Amino acid sequence: MPKSQWSNRIAFIVSASAFSVGLGNIWRFPYITAESGGGAFLFVYLLLAILIGIPILLIEMGLGRMSQASPLTGFGKLVGRSKWNAIGWLGFASGLFIKMYYVMILAWIVTYLLQSLSGSFVNLSPTEFSSHFDQLSGDSFTMLATILGIIILAVLVVRRDLSKGLEPVARVLMTLLFLLILFLAIWSCTLEGTAEGLRFYLTPDFSKISMAVFLSALGQLFFSVGVGMAGAFVFGSYAATSENLVKCTIWIVLADTFIAVLAGFMIFPALFTYGLSPDSGPNLIFVTMGTFFGQIPAGQLFASLFFLLLFIAGFTSLISVMQALKESLSDRFGLSSGRSLLFVALLIMLGSIPMVLSFSDSPLQIAGKTIYEIFDFLTNSLMLPISGLLIVLFGAYVVGYEKLVAHISLGRRSTINRYWSPVIRYLIPACVFIILLKAILS
């Protein structure tokens, strides 16, 4: 049973927002937006964030607070049958597997940050950026050494008590993250292509709204709020019964959505100014944006700020998930906090090795896929949707909607709107099932 509690509401909201906000807000959201119709996608995404994002996160946090335990014991504790803890183990494994390749991406970012500070990165020609990324990601020794440094830094933060570790670090880094992305967004909006970029981004063409756009928005929203990877459950268990869980959840989803929307203001004017294509993932961050920074005045400064922003977004998410995984092992096996944390750190470090080797000259492949590609598909397309679906069904039908709502309503001035009943009972399970089905069929 977790002994820690949030020191206050602000600490809860900021720390949970640090868990939700991550690299996906900055490198996946703009790509999905461009691919799905720009303003049409943004309109649908904002609508779904209110109708579905808030309730689905509230369910997992509410279950965590009800149990006052980690997901490895909390599900069984809520209904008196330990077999339900399998849902918690699925979420634990999802969070752990994701961070095994997440730290590799952070290592790429750290390397590019250092190269931006030295000026070597922005001095590359546009044709050199792609080969430069291949060369950097293929340097396995340097990447593993960088990953080790990142994990050690994360351990130094998470090893401290909640009020002395995650809370103050999340507060400082999230403030810096907000200021950096706001500054870069304002600067980007001074470029020549701003009008065209923002017109594409903010003006919805309702003729482009289709089932595919809804599914893309649902998928991005589901993965962005962080449901199904143990973090929300553990963070909910830290909340006092008197806390207004509804209001806190609303603020967390709003913060996550706001950062993603700001990322669009930062990316689209820049891309439209130089006629660049908004690619996905590594291509967007390390090739497309690299090309952009190499073409503008003061490119070294803005590239450095950009990669610092990325590192903060990724690192806050890493320490938040490590906190949840550590707490889960301590609760399940009665280990000390220090031993649980070292075990989590060791698992992430060992798991990152095959991820890094996936980018070597001769990577191990299974059925034509590298280990990284297999884990990326396994976690994002299967494990997280299944975990999220089981959590929603467990809350709505095993614990029971009325019992769950009664607990959430214990908070000060905490109320559940009537529309949440059909949303939680029927709409969210149907949406998550469709996301899962789409992933399997594709």
Confidence of residue 239 (pLDDT cuts 50, 70, 90): very high
Distance CA 150, CA 168 (A): 18
Distance CA 370, CA 368 (A): 7
With respect to residue 3, please indicate whether it lies within any of the assigned structural domains. no
Is pLDDT at 419 greater than 90 in this prediction? no
Residue 396 token pair:
């709505």
Question: Sign of the C-alpha dihedral, residues 277, 369, 96, 359?
Answer: negative
Is pLDDT at 381 greater than 50 in this prediction? yes
Confidence of residue 341 (pLDDT cuts 50, 70, 90): very high
Is pLDDT at 62 greater than 50 in this prediction? yes
Helix (H) or strand (E) holding 51: none
Count of C-beta atoms within a 10 Å radius of residue 128:
14
Distance CA 410, CA 244 (A): 8
What pLDDT is recorded for position 208? 85
This prediction has a pTM of: 0.91
Is pLDDT at 278 greater than 90 in this prediction? no
Confidence of residue 259 (pLDDT cuts 50, 70, 90): very high
Is pLDDT at 89 greater than 70 in this prediction? yes
Is pLDDT at 1 greater than 60 in this prediction? no
The domain that holds 80 is classified in CATH as 1.10.4160.10
Higher pLDDT, 157 or 432: 157
Helix (H) or strand (E) holding 370: strand 369-370
What pLDDT is recorded for position 2? 44
* Closest by Cα among 36, 91, 150 to 325: 91
With respect to residue 178, please indicate whether it lies within any of the assigned structural domains. yes
With respect to residue 374, please indicate whether it lies within any of the assigned structural domains. yes
| 97-106, 280-289, 405-414: segment of lowest average pLDDT | 280-289
What pLDDT is recorded for position 414? 66
- Max mean pLDDT range (34-48, 65-79, 185-199, 426-440): 65-79
Distance CA 83, CA 383 (A): 18
Is pLDDT at 418 greater than 70 in this prediction? yes
Give mean pLDDT, residues 427-435.
86
Confidence of residue 52 (pLDDT cuts 50, 70, 90): confident
With respect to residue 101, please indicate whether it lies within any of the assigned structural domains. yes
Query: Which of 363-383 are b and which e, b meaning 16 or more Cβ less than 10 Å from the residue's Cβ?
Result: beeeeeebbbbebbeebbbeb
Which residue stretches of 138-288 are H helix? 140-158, 166-188, 194-202, 211-225, 231-237, 245-274, 281-282
Q: What percent of the chain has pLDDT over 70?
A: 97
With respect to residue 44, please indicate whether it lies within any of the assigned structural domains. yes
With respect to residue 300, please indicate whether it lies within any of the assigned structural domains. yes
With respect to residue 4, please indicate whether it lies within any of the assigned structural domains. no
What total number of domains does the chain contain? Answer: 1
N residues, the chain = 442
What pLDDT is recorded for position 124? 75
Q: What is the mean pLDDT of the chain?
A: 89
Query: Which of 134-161 are b and which e, b meaning 16 or more Cβ less than 10 Å from the residue's Cβ?
Result: eebbbeeeebbebbeebbeebbebbbee
What pLDDT is recorded for position 282? 72
Instruction: Identify whether the C-beta of residue 328 lies closer than 8 Å to the C-beta of residue 163.
Output: no
Domain span at residue 373? 9-441
Give mean pLDDT, residues 421-430.
88
Return the amino acid letter for 13.
I
What pLDDT is recorded for position 74? 96
pLDDT tens profile 295-318: 788 888 998 999 999 999 999 999
Distance CA 244, CA 92 (A): 26
What pLDDT is recorded for position 421? 86
Strand, helix or coil for residue 369: strand
Confidence of residue 293 (pLDDT cuts 50, 70, 90): confident
What pLDDT is recorded for position 189? 93
With respect to residue 220, please indicate whether it lies within any of the assigned structural domains. yes
What pLDDT is recorded for position 131? 84
Strand, helix or coil for residue 109: helix
